[in-house]
């Protein structure tokens, strides 16, 4: 987690469906959580986000067998009340943001959500356009 200019850089691994919804928002918001997803969990470092996108999403049909790593900036004041959760090794750190707080978190994003990496599993559809290669995001 790096902090500059009153913002903190966070990461989020997502599958194909969630990425489409992020794109539909103009790269400005994460979609609402589903009923069975009470927590939105951004991760604090790129290494952990890559592990999830590469090792989990690419094996998950619900993710379209594709994992994307997104990077975004959020106002530090917004995330300050959320304790860092370590869920394994030291690198496995994330924030647990309640689903009902996600709209407010989206309002505290600074700049666009960017795709910085893409991983495709054996069951993934062929890539037509790789958002990770688009320098405008």
Using one digit for the tens of pLDDT, what is the confidence trace for 105-125? 999 999 999 999 999 998 888
pTM score, whole prediction: 0.89
Tell me the per-residue pLDDT of 3-49, one tens digit each, with 9 for 90 and over. 668 999 999 999 999 999 999 999 999 999 999 999 999 999 999 99
Quote the CA–CA distance of 21 and 75 in Å, as a whole number: 22
Architecture label for domain 2-133: Alpha-Beta Barrel (3.20)
Burial class (CB in 10 A: 0-12, 13-18, 19+), 7: buried
* Strand segments (E) across 1-137: 2-4, 7-14, 39-40, 66-75, 84-86, 93-95, 97-98, 114-120
Question: Can you state the percent helix, strand and coil of the chain, rounding each to 5?
Answer: 30, 30, 40
Distances in Å between the Cα of 119 and the Cα atoms of 13, 26, 69, 77, 85 are 10, 22, 9, 32, 25
Q: Domain ranges in the chain?
A: 2-133
């Amino acid at each position: 987690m790096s902090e500059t200019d009153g913002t903190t850089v966070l990461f989020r691994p997502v599958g194909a469906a969630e990425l489409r919804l992020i794109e539909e928002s103009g790269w400005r918001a994460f979609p609402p959580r589903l009923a069975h997803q009470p927590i939105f969990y951004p991760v604090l470092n790129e290494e952990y986000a890559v592990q999830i996108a590469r090792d989990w999403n690419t094996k998950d049909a619900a993710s379209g067998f594709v994992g994307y790593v997104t990077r975004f900036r959020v106002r530090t004041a917004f995330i300050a009340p959320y304790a860092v959760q370590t869920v394994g090794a030291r690198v496995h750190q994330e924030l647990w943001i309640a689903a009902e707080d996600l709209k407010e978190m989206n309002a505290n994003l600074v700049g666009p959500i960017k795709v910085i990496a893409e991983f495709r599993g054996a069951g993934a559809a062929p890539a037509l356009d790789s958002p990770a290669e688009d320098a405008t995001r």
